[in-house]
Structure 1
Amino acid sequence: MRRFNCILICFNICLINLSVQAQKTAPLWEDFVKAKKSGGTPVLPDFSYAGYGFSEIPIPSLIGKKIFKVDDFGAKPNDNQFDDEAIQMAINAAESNPGGGIVFFSSGKYLIAPDEDATRQIRITKSNIVLKGNGSGKGGTEIYQANMRINGRQFLFKPEDNKVERLTTIVKDAERETFSVVVKDVSKLKVGQDVVIRHRSEEFTKLYFSPLELKPQWSRLFGDKGGMLIYEIHTITKIEGDKVSLKNPIHIDIKMVKSANWTIESYNSIDQCGVEDILFTSNWKNYPEEFIHHKNEIHDYAYEAIGMEYLKNSWVRNCEFHDWNEGIYLRSGYQITIENTHFRGKKGHASVHARTGYGVLVKKCTFNGAQHHGAGTGYSAVGTVVTQCSLGTDQNFDIHSGQPYATLYDDIDGGVFYNLGGPEPGHPHHGKDLVLWNFYHKSAKDQQYNFWDMSRRRNYTIAAPVLVGFQSDRKVTFENAGIVEMKGESVLPKSLFEAQLELRLKGRK
């Protein structure tokens, strides 16, 4: 028997080795490695600058942080009483503590939203605040929204003061995937400072998308105040004369135009905030209608769980969201991780949506058709990475117009990319450098994608996407794609994000 088991183990190892050998290394990966070694510009963006601490360090363990139990402030699980005020009191106490703290929820069910007033949110306005439960599974912590609050995210992380100051202007072109800019005046800049590279003009927009045609109906692109909004968040690492070096790469070619400046502005945020080990549920499951996309505000926005705006180095992990119109909304987030978080229950609108930020990482999450949209992005977001996740059959990831760019969907099982969102004046859906890497498309019928379709309102306006190792369970065809490499087969590396991160971290040693 022992000999038989050894033979069986050897046989299985051989099968695994043969499977790995059958996979081929993608030429675009070889191009990336070569460019990084030679100092050239790779075809692929470097997506490794995503997640908490740009994924260079783990999310903190919270050991030693002061704990503020919501129960000590009057909240009681399983008593059918509303706990909003007690939760806010615990948060306020943690915010008054110099080092912040953990706002802790015991096992059991806590009720929030005693009325339909969407302005009555539980607010977190300072750094170093973590909402932590006793687990998102059976016997853990549940937070339940009882009443609908249309357009009101129940837990809102957002700094009180978010004044923006224009610091200087960029005076020379800069190439994508490089790490420095030349500016007019460095007097308001310092090493370690977080800043925003900002630009908007019709002139640059036409240069950027050329030779692709732009429809007149995309009205936000045109006029004196029109154009795609560039909003890249960066951290300054060095200042030498008028040259400013950055921690993370620029993901767009900066070109000087006559009609508008490229400015550098302040980026103000709170940081080190998190949500962990909590099951979030809502009364959407008892609403008498099944979800219909954009039927009305109730179907789209009545039950919304968490909003995170202007946060840096923050996270949501080990949570579950059951029966929501919207799970997690991120705006202007910088180095944010959503990890090991799962969406279940009655179908709703959006699961995770990231806009106008840099380096949001959605990793090892499952979406299961619980929302119309799986993880999505839009409105100037840069460097968003969705990796090692699963979606339901015909569940779409959302690219919600507003020209996000340099987005990676990586090692994804399931999902589709038709019926993208956003109003037509805000199209195109996506700028350059949308990369689908080892994406396994699952749909009930064959699909044909025209990525720059000028004839239909509900189209897929994505500028020359890159598809590597694209596979599907039905026939899928493309028009107006950028690069399609090794279609129909899984490629190496399996995860582009993980491989790029490993390469970068090795280079630091």
Structure 2
Amino acid sequence: MFISFIFIPLHINSQELPKILNAKQKSATDYLPDFSYAGYHFGETNLPDFQGKIINAVDFGLKADDNLDDSKALLKAIKAANETKGNVILQLPSGRIILSEILYIERSNFVLRGTSSAENGTEIYCPRPLMYLKDPESLAELREYLTTFDKRQREPENNVDLPFSQYAWSGGFIWTQVPNERVKSYLDQYEPTPNILAKVSTGNMGEHSITVSEIKNLKIGDIVELQLFNKEGENGEIIADLYKGAKVKPGSHHWKFPKLPIVRQQVEITKIAGSKITIKTPLTISIKPVYQAQLVEWKHLNEVGIEHLRFTFPDIPRIAHHVEPGNNAVFLTRLFNSWVKDVKITNADSGILAEEISNITIEDIITDGTHLAHYTVTLGGVHNVLVKNLKIYNKAVHPLSFNTFATKNVYQNCEIFADPLLDQHSGANHQNLFDHITVHFTADKNNSYALFGGGGADYWKPSHGPFSTFWNLNVQVSNPSDKTILLYGMKDGALARIIGVNGNAKFDVKYDPDPYIEFLNTSMEKIPSLYDYQLQKRLKN
């Protein structure tokens, strides 16, 4: 295996390091998660030069650049690819391909490959949004949820009172899925009976060992889901443990759905010794018997890639937030050890959406266009996902966003050129990393800027759980002055770590409540990336 990351000399004098790197990490005061397990194969290998049987889309009648719809040919090609045994590549030609149907990837060891994301490469042009297609069966529960609870966007000042779209945070023209597998929980009556592989009674935050009982058909190498529950109501012990006593008020969804796990992570079993199981990645919170934790079967696809192409959408008028018609490029669900790379997305409502994926790398992505997007690349309900080298040139409501149930994910070396916002979108998300992020903005008349966002509904507040981390935040201001610029916006982010805010001006940070702030207005040249530093240290050990 060949590993690629920024070289960071590990012999740096400890006096030159942020103190939090040398802390004993025994308490919530100085705890810093290990983010190094994010990404394809836990960050331990580069993305593959995938080889396999090549299925050429042109052999199924696709003709690029002829101004005719190519959907029927693409559906035939992807059906053939889904039915082919072994590694398979669906190869798209250069030129404009017109797509007005959803292409479902439903098998492992599959790559959808264009020739390049550049102007002379492969362009997938989607002339009309998803709302004009047949309703996807896999979103039936979401549609029922939206109507049952009358989810609407209400903006009286704009004379807006419209129902939410099923495509506001779901769906895409390229869509990975395990057929007939529920992806996201919305309504209790549809909650399936899980295949429980073991009951879990104890485990410590940051460690790899758990105590189990009633083991069933579990073996080393299995990828399963660890689930923790709140069965105790509003005063459940897991709520207190999740937020570590921070001065935040958890919303009602933390206790109103006791059948749904409130903390989950996909784990690889590396050792089984009696009642002790070792997992590859560290626990995000400690496990106690009252949490009724369990390991359950997790159905997913492996080694799926989407690469070397671009998506283009027409710049249609934007009506309102949450009523987006569905100009969404990619929807990733039920994936493990997979990737998206070298993709450009223009004028999307949302570029790349994700749910129920783990250990995915999304790299070398560009989003642009004149259309105001909802999301660019967003991470919700996912674990150990690495998004690196994302360049955002378009305006978006949530340019970078960690959403509901997101844990141990990393945005690394990303850059936002228009109206930057670092959003954490409520829903028990915790321990996520903004790593070496560059933002560009114009300070307001008060010499300040609302850089830190806390979106999401009140019933899933606070905006994030403990130990969300900002490392080496490079801030470039178009109108710098001698005055200190205040970076603000977060009011309910529990126990954040903010290390290394620097740029072309002097900055102060207001972030509530109780953040750990270090290396403010200090260069981070010695350790530009926390993810790379931790990965290099782990692999060396």
Q: TM-score range by the shorter chain?
A: 0.7 to 0.9
Q: Which amino acid aligns with 1:425?
A: Y
Q: Does 1:262 align with 2:293?
A: yes
Aligned to 2:198: 168
Aligned to 2:34: 46
Q: Distance in 2 between matches of 1:224 and 1:145?
A: 38
Using a 3 Å threshold, how does the CA distance of structure 1 residues 135 and 370 change in structure 2: closer, same or farther? farther
Q: Distance in 1 between matches of 2:172 and 2:20?
A: 41
Q: Which amino acid aligns with 2:174?
A: F
Contact 2:451 2:489 in 1 (8 A): no
Q: Distance in 2 between matches of 1:221 and 1:181?
A: 24
Q: Distance in 1 between matches of 2:334 and 2:527?
A: 33
Please show how residues 83-482 of structure 1 align to structure 2 within 5 Å: 83-113=70-100, 120-150=101-131, 151=167, 152-162=171-181, 164-172=194-202, 174-201=203-230, 202=233, 203=236, 204-215=238-249, 218-223=251-256, 225=258, 229-257=262-290, 260-283=291-314, 285=315, 287=316, 289=317, 291=318, 294=321, 297-298=323-324, 301-346=325-370, 347-414=372-439, 417-441=451-475, 446-447=485-486, 449=488, 451=490, 453=491, 461-471=492-502, 473=505, 475-478=507-510, 479-482=512-515
Using a 3 Å threshold, how does the CA distance of structure 1 residues 154 and 338 change in structure 2: closer, same or farther? same
Secondary structure of the 1:359 match is coil
Secondary structure of the 1:498 match is helix
Using a 3 Å threshold, how does the CA distance of structure 1 residues 42 and 66 change in structure 2: closer, same or farther? farther
Using a 3 Å threshold, how does the CA distance of structure 1 residues 92 and 450 change in structure 2: closer, same or farther? closer
Q: Which amino acid aligns with 2:357?
A: G
Q: Which amino acid aligns with 1:496?
A: L
Cα distance per residue 1:131-160 (max 9 Å; x no partner): 111111121110011012232411110111
Structure 1 window deviating more from structure 2 (201-210 vs 242-251): it is 201-210
Secondary structure of the 1:340 match is strand
Aligned to 1:493: 527
Q: Distance in 2 between matches of 1:316 and 1:220?
A: 32
Cα drift, residue 188 of structure 1: 2.7
Cα drift, residue 225 of structure 1: 2.4
Q: Distance in 2 between matches of 1:313 and 1:72?
A: 30
Using a 3 Å threshold, how does the CA distance of structure 1 residues 369 and 219 change in structure 2: closer, same or farther? same
Using a 3 Å threshold, how does the CA distance of structure 1 residues 323 and 496 change in structure 2: closer, same or farther? same
Contact 2:330 2:353 in 1 (8 A): yes
Identity level (%)? 27
Q: Does 1:483 align with 2:516?
A: yes
Contact 1:75 1:86 in 2 (8 A): yes
Contact 1:396 1:418 in 2 (8 A): yes
Q: Which amino acid aligns with 1:278?
A: L
Using a 3 Å threshold, how does the CA distance of structure 1 residues 83 and 397 change in structure 2: closer, same or farther? farther
Picking from 36, 46, 52, the partner of 1:58 is 46
Cα drift, residue 444 of structure 1: 7.6
Structure 1 unaligned segments of length 5 or more: list them: 1-19, 114-119, 454-460
Contact 2:309 2:342 in 1 (8 A): yes
Secondary structure of the 2:436 match is strand
Aligned length: 455
Using a 3 Å threshold, how does the CA distance of structure 1 residues 215 and 499 change in structure 2: closer, same or farther? closer
Cα drift, residue 311 of structure 1: 0.3
Q: Give the TM-score of the pair, scaled to structure 1.
A: 0.84
Secondary structure of the 1:231 match is strand
Using a 3 Å threshold, how does the CA distance of structure 1 residues 128 and 141 change in structure 2: closer, same or farther? same
Contact 1:394 1:442 in 2 (8 A): no
Contact 1:220 1:227 in 2 (8 A): no
Q: Which amino acid aligns with 2:374?
A: H
Q: Distance in 2 between matches of 1:101 and 1:72?
A: 15
Aligned to 1:6: none
CA RMSD of aligned residues (A): 2.6
Cα distance per residue 1:155-176 (max 9 Å; x no partner): 110111437412221122x211
Contact 2:199 2:215 in 1 (8 A): no
Q: Give the TM-score of the pair, scaled to structure 2.
A: 0.79
Secondary structure of the 2:535 match is helix
Cα drift, residue 95 of structure 1: 1.7
Q: Does 1:30 align with 2:22?
A: yes
Secondary structure of the 1:365 match is strand
Cα drift, residue 293 of structure 1: 5.9
Secondary structure of the 2:59 match is helix
Cα distance per residue 1:271-294 (max 9 Å; x no partner): 1111111011111x2x2x3x5761
